[in-house]
Structure 1
Amino acid sequence: MSIQSYFVLGVFLSTIVGLIKYQQRPSLVFGITLLVLFATQMVSTEQVIKSISNQGLLTLILLMLCSIALEKTRLLRLVAVMVIKPSYKATWLRLFSFTVLSSALLNNTAVVSTMLAPIRNNPHHPASKLLIPLSYAAILGGTLTLVGTSTNLIINSLVLDAGLPSLGFFDFTLVGLCLVLVCGITLYLFSPLLPDKQIKKVTKESYFIEAKISSASNLVGKTVEQNGLRHLQSLFLVEIMRGDCLLSAIAPTEILQAHDKLIFSGDISKVSQLYLFDGLSIFAEKNGLSVNNLCEVVVRPESILTGKTLKSVGFRSLFDAAVVAIKRDGEKVSGKIGQLKIKPGDFLVLAVGEDFKSRRNIRKNFILLSDIELDSRLSGKKEWLAVVGFLTAIVLSAIGIISLFKAVLLLLGVLLLTGCFSTNELLRRFPIELWVIISSAIVLSYALQNTGVIDAFNLLISEHRDAFSPLVALIAIYVTTWLLTELVTNNAAAALVFPIAYGLATSIDANPTAFIMAVAFGASASFISPYGYQTNLMVFTAGQYKLNDFIKVGVPVSIAYSITAVTMIVVVFGL
């Protein structure tokens, strides 16, 4: 091999080492790799541009952006309410089935994110008994279709870049179904090993938000559990004000009444969830202000509010603002917001009018911190458009009427034009890190080809063909991908191993599709490490797990997954 070949091989190995050492910053590692290869002319300008604009990569990004609108609907939350039941067995089976099916069509990270709150807040079972099964079910569901996980779409982008036909929507399904069945049974049998932990839900540092039930609300006469108030994302129902009576220990069976004031605690940016409930209004609304324009402030010691209630000082007319939420460090806030006596240092979230920042008394009374951007929600026709539009795009691409890229691009345009989300939301949620990782990995594969590393690898394999039967080579590719997935991340593993797998299949005259599938399924086989797959990391934090908790359940699931995956790849695709 030439000097350039050894240099690129060194960059390849350094990238793997960097990914292992800096597991939380894969985009930085890949970004440096891209810059080094481009600066040393190991790849051309045309190849860099081609990598950045890869159709498979753009399809993945468009799909993730379109799923933002779906996250803003009630669809997943309403289904989540039906999942949690008093019986652990029934809950486990419903959770597993729902998550698998949802993850086959939707981004599995979004599915897990939606289910975290209902599971953590459920009154029947410890969340630690359900969160790992949630993540594993999302991983398994993602293996069923082309769009189930970003890993499959990354593989498809690399397939297209290699000049091969695109993978089909259901090419993964038969192997994926076997994995769901075998690994689902294994996971259920080993679920008793999951820890039984009580997870602290509400902290004194959370904001307290007040909402009132109108007499015409359909919440009236139903329990807290039936109304789905236990299943909100990052908001927790902590108190109910019923007349002059304060109910602090809220049971799931508590029946709501007209004019009840519900006190929630949690993340103020999630307050828009409350608009999804009929007849539930925020405290600020009765003052004629919208909660779409929020500002966070701290009460100054010299403020005229000190020791007084919001109602007594005429807060709305005084500041052209209304209090949406309040937080008091080191002390729990309780009762009606309007009747609380304000203290210096209180944090307030204000719904502000047009004159708020121009008033001279604002800085005398408050320290302005920042504006707060809400996670908005969709309702009515926009909600239906988001749900039906997304499902239509997936179905049309699945049956081959239109390409997935064209379907999601058209859907994104429709969602933007109809105001289902704004350009600011798209920019804020744009998966720039994923774009850097995949495009840089494609650039790396170009460099390996340009400098003859792949050719040298193929020649080495050809000279030792007797030692590499197709089955042995397939297992080696699968195991390599799986190890990298556990050590780095699933997307990085898929991007790094693909050129090696394709080159190996070509060298030994094996079926390239089988080796491509070995990379795809191996990259999704992250069950032992909480760091290899994003959903694992999400539940690792939320469930307050230890590494040993993943090992106890993940090892048997991983063994069952690996044996099933390799066997079914050989049976379905052949060698």
Structure 2
Amino acid sequence: MSTDVLLTLSVFAATIVGLVVFQSRPAKVFGVTLLALVVLGLADQEQLISSFANPGLLTLVLLIVCSLALEKTHILRLISSNLMVKSYRKTWLRLYVGTVLSSAVLNNTAIVATLLSPVRNNPYHSPVRLLLPLSYAAILGGTLTLIGTSTNLIVNSLFIDASGSSLSFFSFTAVGICLVVACGMTLWCSHHFLPESNLSNDDTQGYFIDARLGDKSPLIGRSIEENGLRHLESLFLVELVRQGRLISPVAPNEVLEANDKLIFSGDITKVMQLTQFKGLSLFADSNGLLKSNLTEVVIRNGSVLDGQSLKSVGFRALFDAAVVAVRRDGERLSGKLGEITLRAGDFLVLAVGDDFKTRKNVSKNFIVLSGVEPETKMGAAQSWITVGGFIAAVGLAAFGLVELFVSLCVLLGLMLFSGALTTNDITRRLPIDVWLVVSAALLLSQVLMSTGTTDILLSLTQLNVAEHPYLTLAVIYLCTWVITELVTNNAAAALMFPIAWTLASVSNVSVMPFVMTVAFAASSSFISPYGYQTNLMVFNAGGYRLKDYVKVGLPVSIVYALVVLFLVPYFFPL
């Protein structure tokens, strides 16, 4: 065994161990992998540059950037406006179909973010019965097209690097449709495993808002009732903190004292009415940011905020933003806003400063949502250019008239020229992490195959593809699925593609069944709230527990696996 092979095996093994140990930091793990390959002389300059400039990867980055403008339009809100009806069956079906079709061409994180509020606030059905199906529908919809999910585009990037050609727009559609139908039926049958509503509809629901009474406020010495603090629109005074002592519930005749902390809960869009009370300031007001645009975010799994309080991490210095309110759906928060221990999945409303958009740590710690108060209001002309341009770009590429990369370049230029996108938008949300992960994966894939390391790995497995092709596909699927649930879908696709490709190549069988199996298996995250962004977004919103994902997601995972393993060889013969 040569030195290069030993070094490559060591880097490959270290990458897998690193991804398991540091599950929330795949970009850093792959970054170290890339450096190791270059420093150890396993990859040359030409390979490094080609990995970062891979056409499939650049197409993925362009697609994500162009999708940012779509989030500013009203297209997703129009989709959500007519989903909720009195019949649970009809509501479930409308939500499932609408989400699936939208996710086939749009960013599924944006779709779930837009639909969260209509589902939570619908007057007919418990959100707990709809939110998890919403997340699963978004995942399944992504399997329908090449651009439905970043996983498909990452596999396509690797495929282009290995074969020199691209997968077609509809390569995934036949199997994807079968998955949507079969898994949708399974999900409907398993909805009985969803918990009964554990979210109350009392006044404690909504955002947790912290206001402080100044020592010279005219409200001091007067009761809650006299000050008119019990009759606010969609905001409710749920508790009062006085000299470290918590008072809850707050009686109407409770007399206010200087430096009291008043804790409200309710509709965040009504928060500005609190500033009308002289001497009453919000948590963000003390930071001088309250008059800035309000931005809603979700704390990512692995964020530096997870398990910390706002004060302990120095939130303002880190992000040039102040927290106006926090919400943890399914649980009532208590105490001072700055001292609450935050968790992954918590929703925050931020009053942001001028530097917030350009802070590189924003995307690493938050999923940025829209809908509280959009940072920019898109005009009618800009909306038409954005929506019409996106449909045209995707349509031309889908029918093979223009390369997707070219059509997206033109669309991006139009968006920048019309003002639908700004350079600040792109700078703030450029998917650097995805770019780094895929580039490193491409480089690792090249090294694994050029050094013959994959051949040695395959010899260790003692798999004879020619004799047991279906068993081999099952093993590839299982390994990819495990990595997806333990790490991330993108990492699973990146690590398993070179192994699957080499398995097929050395055995003189078609590579397509193996490529497609990796792609579909990497999107099969149904039994963990942390394996996929949309699962995390609905985790707290629905008050779910890990066992809920297992009970509902396991049947879906089994059916998903069976459909892939039976139909991929049918549509892509071995």
The two structures share one fold, judged by TM-score above 0.5: yes
Deviation >6 Å, runs of 4+: 244-247, 262-265
> CA shift at 1:332, angstroms?
3.1
Q: Distance between the aligned counterparts of 2:12 and 2:283, measured in 1?
A: 53
Letter in 1 for 2:86: P
Q: Deviations over 1:202-237 (max 9, x none)?
A: 2342799xxxxxxxxxxxxxxxxxxxxxxxxxxxxx
Q: What is the match of residue 207 of structure 2?
A: 203
1:138-287 matches, within 5 Å, as 138-195=138-195, 196-198=197-199, 201-205=205-209
Q: What is the match of residue 30 of structure 1?
A: 30
Q: Deviations over 1:93-128 (max 9, x none)?
A: 111000000011112222112212222222222222
Q: Is contact 1:502–1:516 with CA below 8 Å preserved after alignment?
A: yes
SS in 2 for 1:332: strand
Letter in 2 for 1:166: S
Q: Distance between the aligned counterparts of 2:234 and 2:419, measured in 1?
A: 31
> CA shift at 1:422, angstroms?
0.8
Q: 1:344 to 1:197 in 2, by over 3 A?
A: closer
Larger Rg: 1
Q: 1:464 to 1:95 in 2, by over 3 A?
A: closer
SS in 2 for 1:105: coil
Q: Is contact 1:470–1:508 with CA below 8 Å preserved after alignment?
A: no
Greater Cα offset, 512-521 or 192-201:
192-201
Q: Distance between the aligned counterparts of 1:474 and 1:338, measured in 2?
A: 62
Q: Is contact 1:37–1:444 with CA below 8 Å preserved after alignment?
A: yes
> CA shift at 1:87, angstroms?
2.0
Q: Deviations over 1:210-269 (max 9, x none)?
A: xxxxxxxxxxxxxxxxxxxxxxxxxxxxxxxxxx99976xxxxxxxxxxxxx7689xxxx
Q: What is the match of residue 133 of structure 1?
A: 133
SS in 2 for 1:331: strand
Gaps of 5+ in 1: 209-243, 249-261, 266-327, 353-368
Q: Is contact 2:199–2:542 with CA below 8 Å preserved after alignment?
A: no
> CA shift at 1:341, angstroms?
2.3
Q: Deviations over 1:127-182 (max 9, x none)?
A: 22111101110111111100000000000000000024210111111101111110
Letter in 2 for 1:120: R
> CA shift at 1:350, angstroms?
5.3
Q: Is residue 2:493 matched to residue 1:494?
A: yes
Q: What is the match of residue 371 of structure 1?
A: 353
How many pairs are equivalent? 449
Q: What is the match of residue 526 of structure 1?
A: 525
Letter in 1 for 2:15: T
Q: Deviations over 1:506-555 (max 9, x none)?
A: 12222101110000111011111122222212222332321111000111
Q: Distance between the aligned counterparts of 1:50 and 1:419, measured in 2?
A: 32
Q: What is the match of residue 485 of structure 1?
A: 484
Q: Is contact 1:485–1:524 with CA below 8 Å preserved after alignment?
A: yes
Q: 1:346 to 1:428 in 2, by over 3 A?
A: closer
Q: Is contact 2:199–2:543 with CA below 8 Å preserved after alignment?
A: no
Q: What is the match of residue 39 of structure 1?
A: 39
Q: Distance between the aligned counterparts of 1:404 and 1:141, measured in 2?
A: 20
Q: What is the match of residue 343 of structure 1?
A: 280
Letter in 2 for 1:181: V
Q: Distance between the aligned counterparts of 2:353 and 2:444, measured in 1?
A: 42
Q: Is contact 2:448–2:454 with CA below 8 Å preserved after alignment?
A: yes
> CA shift at 1:459, angstroms?
6.0
Q: Percent identity?
A: 47
Q: What is the match of residue 76 of structure 1?
A: 76
Q: Is contact 1:530–1:547 with CA below 8 Å preserved after alignment?
A: yes
SS in 1 for 2:82: helix
> CA shift at 1:466, angstroms?
7.4
> CA shift at 1:370, angstroms?
6.4
Q: What is the match of residue 10 of structure 1?
A: 10
Q: What is the match of residue 310 of structure 1?
A: none
Greater Cα offset, 376-385 or 155-164:
376-385
Q: Is contact 2:65–2:430 with CA below 8 Å preserved after alignment?
A: yes
Q: Is contact 2:51–2:442 with CA below 8 Å preserved after alignment?
A: yes
Q: Is contact 2:466–2:509 with CA below 8 Å preserved after alignment?
A: no
SS in 1 for 2:353: strand
Give TM-score, length-normalised by structure 2. Answer: 0.73
Q: What is the match of residue 399 of structure 2?
A: 399
Q: 1:538 to 1:468 in 2, by over 3 A?
A: farther
Q: 1:346 to 1:186 in 2, by over 3 A?
A: closer
Q: Is contact 2:100–2:140 with CA below 8 Å preserved after alignment?
A: yes
1:371-520 matches, within 5 Å, as 371=353, 375-457=375-457, 465=464, 468-520=467-519
Q: Is residue 2:551 matched to residue 1:552?
A: yes
Q: 1:457 to 1:554 in 2, by over 3 A?
A: same
Letter in 2 for 1:202: G
Q: Distance between the aligned counterparts of 1:19 and 1:245, measured in 2?
A: 51
1:529-540 matches, within 5 Å, as 529-540=528-539
Letter in 1 for 2:382: K
Q: What is the match of residue 324 of structure 1?
A: none
Q: Distance between the aligned counterparts of 2:528 and 2:275, measured in 1?
A: 48
Q: Distance between the aligned counterparts of 1:344 and 1:153, measured in 2?
A: 48
Q: 1:438 to 1:207 in 2, by over 3 A?
A: farther
SS in 1 for 2:544: coil
Q: 1:510 to 1:87 in 2, by over 3 A?
A: same
Q: 1:31 to 1:101 in 2, by over 3 A?
A: same
Q: What is the match of residue 331 of structure 1?
A: 263
Q: Is contact 1:246–1:335 with CA below 8 Å preserved after alignment?
A: no
Q: Is contact 1:84–1:122 with CA below 8 Å preserved after alignment?
A: yes
Q: Is contact 1:481–1:519 with CA below 8 Å preserved after alignment?
A: yes
Give TM-score, length-normalised by structure 1. Answer: 0.73
Q: Considering only aligned residues, what root-mean-square deviation do their CA atoms show, in Å?
A: 2.7
Letter in 1 for 2:385: L
Q: 1:192 to 1:370 in 2, by over 3 A?
A: closer
Greater Cα offset, 69-78 or 446-455:
446-455
Q: Distance between the aligned counterparts of 2:283 and 2:164, measured in 1?
A: 61
> CA shift at 1:65, angstroms?
0.5
Q: Is contact 1:497–1:519 with CA below 8 Å preserved after alignment?
A: yes
Q: Distance between the aligned counterparts of 2:275 and 2:207, measured in 1?
A: 22
Letter in 2 for 1:113: A
